[in-house]
A and B are shown apart, each in its own frame.
Chain A
Amino acid sequence: MKKARKILIFVVLPAILLVASMMLFIAGDGEEEAEMAKGPITIFWAEWDPANYLQELCNIFTDETGIVANVETTPWSDFQVKAFNEFAAHSDAYDIVVGDSQWLGRGATQGHYIELTDWIKERGVDKSMAPATIVAYAEYPKGSGRYWAVPVEGDACGWSYRKDKFEDPKEKAAFKKKYGYELDIPDTWYQLRDIAEFFYRPEENFYGVAIYTQKDYDAITMGIENVLWAWGADLGDYDTYKVKGILNSRAGIESLEFYKELYKFCPPDWVNAFFPENNMAMTEGIASMSMNYYAFFPALANPEMSKYADVTGYFAMPEGPAARVAALGGQGASIITYSKKQGAAFEWLEWFVKPENQSKWGDLGGYTCDLKTLKSEKFLNMTPYNRSFMETMQMVKDFWAVPEYAELLESCQRYWSGYVVADQFTAKEAMDGIAEEWEVIFEKYGYYD
């Protein structure tokens, strides 16, 4: 009997204790859940400044309505994986997701997002927000008039540049002598190339330009889109899904070759560059111009973050041989089908689209898509880049928003990065390869039926 007791003490008891303590952890978690009858709602976004601004806006919402709203974030690199993992499991962890525009196809066709068409039309949100943003962040399929999200953060690619260098009389004279025209904000991509070449001075640790080159997610694609469209080529026909002859047209190949030429004037190690790197190029003063999303410009204008904040200027995408286009970024808020607090989530959305709150959103630093706020003098003068942002939002274009966008991205990221930074292909091989693979993907998912 004694032995049995010993076994009891040494095996069974610790085991019970272990299980019990683990149960306690679960129970502890459960209690938290029981308290939240209405709210708090959880809004999921990526880890960046606008998410912090949104949290501040949510705090105002909480003060006014009593419903707690928390903004939950994850790094950009994990954003898509995390969100769709939760969708796949029909999880109610998030009530609202501020998702990338490319996600709309998946969210809508795979049943993760609640359709907001009637809700948006009743409230006239489709009229009060900039039309381009409604199409980009809310509508799927494009042109159908069906909406799945409310635009939250409008965003697109723009440029920052070093005003002091551009305005330096000595530089201006030298530039004029070399290129035969005044050094100024570039009107065309060719001028931008000249300036990049002009300022490319490795011996001074100063370089011409910083562009997107990273292979991860959609980085280099976002950069190349700007030139691709400016040269008159396109990613394909958005209605018939035909790609061959459009993407790998002469214009398409030329634009890609142009992008690679710009890459020559980048700082060394510019192979894995996306928004943090391109911002760093300005804050460290190693590039004369840097491409980036407007949402990342606040750091450049902040003297605490950037040594060159006072001498940094901003301009919108230059004109190409065929057009002037900027690649779209930005996100819209969608309500998740699996949320158990949809009532509170709708209340938040209702509150968010009110003009006065859109104006607060703009004040906090969010890129509102609300027309009235966008066009107000207050917004335009709030930062040195808001005016060029307003200009840019009139000429935006977006990547495919089909549910299979990630497969399309994998293919073009591989070829474009392979051509531009790794010399694994020629421009033609890259474009032909993408066109070929994309059509196979479209074929596989029945877009040609």
Chain B
Amino acid sequence: MSDTNVVLKKRGLSDLAIKRLFILPTLVLLISIFVVFPLFWSLGMSFMDYSAVRPQVKGVNPKWIGNQNYKDVLLDPHIWKYFSLTLRFVIMAVAGEFLIGFGVALLLNRDFKAKGLITTLILLPMMMSMAVVGFFWKLLYNPGWGIINYILGLGEFVWLANPKMTLISITITDIWMWSPFTMLLALAGLSAIPKHLYEAAEIDRASWWFKFRRITLPLVSPLLLIALIFRTMEAFKMFDIAYVMTGGGPGTTTELIAINLYRLAFAQWNTGKASAFGYIVLIMIIAISNIYIKYLNKVKEM
């Protein structure tokens, strides 16, 4: 027996083996099931005229049509309208979740009795099923028997039927559901800031604003960014709440891209075009989150 063998035996599995044992299962599973097959299948189909419900006939269904699907999607003026709608939603929702979540976290960042309980209670909205949340907010928004108008004394104010208010109504629901998530992350970041930094600033008689800008903000920003990444990604894909509450209506005032994509893929069964559309969305999400991640790495290095 050679020396190296003894060492290896003594140390159990080699690092290489551990590395493989640890990483490969995930990669193999992910790559084989989630990436290779569906992604490549969709990629292939995005260049075909194909409908998954029609019988497969070679050369007819699917039929190679080159980049026609991509052209169709990118040249469709409706779809650009849906994109700008979605962008509006993402900006409003993520900004709202950011401001409210961070604000509440700042308030909660102190010691008091039952803090854990109160924090958990505020987290309740994000633990609910999105479909159920959408469904129930319909009840809350109802001009007649809805509790919102009742509490706010708005009388018969119309939320969901009002083309100008629908997107905002959905945004409010989304903020209600997901600002606790930003709150949680911000709170975690805030409570991790070493107390002595504040004490030092206190001695210098630094203003509240100075402390916030120079100590609080830089130290929580990595976590806030992570919250933003996740929320932006999810808001971009927003489906359940909007679909349940308005079905994309009235007219096209809430036709978010995920809803339109769903219609294309399932109501119309235009699998090829839906795949192409899906890829365009994917590329956009990747681009956006890449920007975030680059920025995050910069912030972390600071």
* A contacts B directly (C-beta below 8 A): yes
Binding site for B on A (CB under 8 A): 3-4, 7, 11, 77, 80-81, 84-85, 87-88, 106, 110-112, 202, 205, 213-217, 267-272, 284, 286, 403-404, 406-407, 409-410, 414, 417-419, 421-424
The reply to whether B161 and A272 form a contact with Cβ atoms under 8 Å apart is yes
**Which of B12, B54, B270 has a CB less than 8 Å from the CB of A407?**
B270
The reply to whether B144 and A7 form a contact with Cβ atoms under 8 Å apart is no
**Which of A7, A406, A409, A424 has a CB less than 8 Å from the CB of B269?**
A406
**Shortest CB–CB separation between residue B244 and chain A, in angstroms?**
8
The reply to whether A410 and B13 form a contact with Cβ atoms under 8 Å apart is no
In chain B, what residue has the closest Cβ to A6? B12
**Shortest CB–CB separation between residue A93 and chain B, in angstroms?**
15
Total of A-B residue pairs, C-beta within 8 Å: 115
The reply to whether A215 and B12 form a contact with Cβ atoms under 8 Å apart is no
The reply to whether A418 and B267 form a contact with Cβ atoms under 8 Å apart is no
Q: How far is the CA of A214 from the CA of B249 in the complex (A)?
A: 7
The reply to whether A422 and B248 form a contact with Cβ atoms under 8 Å apart is no
The reply to whether B266 and A422 form a contact with Cβ atoms under 8 Å apart is no
Q: Contact flags (1/0) for B155-178 with A, using CB distance below 8 Å? A: 010111111001000000000000
Q: Say whether, besides A11-B21, A407-B270, A410-B267, A271 and B53 are in contact (CB < 8 Å).
A: no
Q: Which of B98-106, B211-219, B250-258 contacts A (4 or more CB under 8 A)?
A: B250-258
The reply to whether B156 and A7 form a contact with Cβ atoms under 8 Å apart is no
Q: How far is the CA of A409 from the CA of B269 in the complex (A)?
A: 13
Q: How far is the CA of A107 from the CA of B142 in the complex (A)?
A: 39
**Shortest CB–CB separation between residue A157 and chain B, in angstroms?**
20
The reply to whether B156 and A268 form a contact with Cβ atoms under 8 Å apart is yes
Q: How far is the CA of A23 from the CA of B103 in the complex (A)?
A: 48
Q: What are the residues of chain A within 8 A of B156 when measuring CB–CB?
A: 202, 205, 268
Q: What are the residues of chain A within 8 A of B53 when measuring CB–CB?
A: 84, 87-88, 106, 110, 112
Q: Contact flags (1/0) for B111-131 with A, using CB distance below 8 Å? A: 000000000000000000000
In chain B, what residue has the closest Cβ to A85? B266
Q: Say whether, besides A80-B267, A421-B250, A268 and B12 are in contact (CB < 8 Å).
A: no
Q: How far is the CA of A419 from the CA of B250 in the complex (A)?
A: 9
Interface residues on B, range: 35 or more
The reply to whether A417 and B144 form a contact with Cβ atoms under 8 Å apart is no
**Which of A110, A418, A424 has a CB less than 8 Å from the CB of B54?**
A110
- The 22 listed contacts between A and B (C-beta, < 8 Å) are A84-B269, A88-B269, A111-B55, A215-B251, A216-B247, A216-B248, A268-B158, A269-B143, A271-B162, A271-B246, A271-B250, A272-B245, A272-B247, A406-B268, A406-B269, A410-B267, A417-B252, A418-B250, A419-B251, A421-B249, A422-B250, A424-B253
**Which of A110, A213, A424 has a CB less than 8 Å from the CB of B55?**
A110
**Shortest CB–CB separation between residue B94 and chain A, in angstroms?**
25
Q: What are the residues of chain B within 8 A of A84 when measuring CB–CB?
A: 53, 266, 269
Other than the known A269-B160, A422-B251, what 19 A-B pairs have Cβ atoms closer than 8 Å?
A: A11-B21, A87-B53, A110-B54, A110-B55, A111-B55, A202-B156, A213-B249, A213-B250, A268-B144, A268-B161, A269-B142, A269-B143, A286-B144, A406-B269, A421-B161, A421-B249, A422-B249, A422-B250, A422-B253
Q: What are the residues of chain B within 8 A of A284 when measuring CB–CB?
A: 144-145
**Shortest CB–CB separation between residue B275 and chain A, in angstroms?**
14
**Shortest CB–CB separation between residue A364 and chain B, in angstroms?**
29
**Shortest CB–CB separation between residue A357 and chain B, in angstroms?**
32
Q: How far is the CA of A202 from the CA of B143 in the complex (A)?
A: 12
**Shortest CB–CB separation between residue A102 and chain B, in angstroms?**
11
**Which of B144, B145, B252, B266 has a CB less than 8 Å from the CB of A418?**
B252
In chain A, what residue has the closest Cβ to B78? A414
**Shortest CB–CB separation between residue B136 and chain A, in angstroms?**
14
Q: Say whether, besides A110-B53, A111-B55, A272-B160, A205 and B144 are in contact (CB < 8 Å).
A: yes
The reply to whether A7 and B250 form a contact with Cβ atoms under 8 Å apart is no
In chain B, what residue has the closest Cβ to A1? B9
The reply to whether A215 and B248 form a contact with Cβ atoms under 8 Å apart is yes
Is B33 an interface residue when CB atoms closer than 8 A count as contact? no
Q: Shortest 4 CB-CB distances between A and B: which pairs?
A: A422-B251, A215-B249, A271-B161, A418-B251
Is B36 an interface residue when CB atoms closer than 8 A count as contact? no
Q: What are the residues of chain B within 8 A of A422 when measuring CB–CB?
A: 163, 249-253
Q: What are the residues of chain B within 8 A of A421 when measuring CB–CB?
A: 161, 163, 249-251
Is B71 an interface residue when CB atoms closer than 8 A count as contact? no
Q: What are the residues of chain A within 8 A of B88 when measuring CB–CB?
A: none
Q: How far is the CA of A3 from the CA of B160 in the complex (A)?
A: 64
The reply to whether B251 and A410 form a contact with Cβ atoms under 8 Å apart is no
Q: Contact flags (1/0) for B1-34 with A, using CB distance below 8 Å? A: 0000000000011000000010000000000000
**Shortest CB–CB separation between residue B249 and chain A, in angstroms?**
3
In chain B, what residue has the closest Cβ to A216? B247
The reply to whether A215 and B250 form a contact with Cβ atoms under 8 Å apart is yes
**Shortest CB–CB separation between residue A437 and chain B, in angstroms?**
10
B161, B162, B266 pick with most chain A CB within 10 angstroms = B161
Is B300 an interface residue when CB atoms closer than 8 A count as contact? no
The reply to whether A3 and B12 form a contact with Cβ atoms under 8 Å apart is yes
Is B110 an interface residue when CB atoms closer than 8 A count as contact? no
Q: Say whether, besides A267-B144, A271-B161, A421-B161, A410 and B250 are in contact (CB < 8 Å).
A: no
Q: What are the residues of chain A within 8 A of B251 when measuring CB–CB?
A: 215, 414, 417-419, 421-424
Q: Say whether, besides A84-B53, A110-B54, A422-B251, A272 and B246 are in contact (CB < 8 Å).
A: yes
A11, A80, A213, A407 pick with most chain B CB within 10 angstroms = A407
The reply to whether B267 and A215 form a contact with Cβ atoms under 8 Å apart is no
The reply to whether B250 and A269 form a contact with Cβ atoms under 8 Å apart is no
Q: What are the residues of chain A within 8 A of B253 when measuring CB–CB?
A: 422, 424
Q: Contact flags (1/0) for B223-260 with A, using CB distance below 8 Å? A: 00000000000000000000001111111110100000
Is B52 an interface residue when CB atoms closer than 8 A count as contact? yes
In chain A, what residue has the closest Cβ to B161? A271
Q: What are the residues of chain B within 8 A of A80 when measuring CB–CB?
A: 266-267
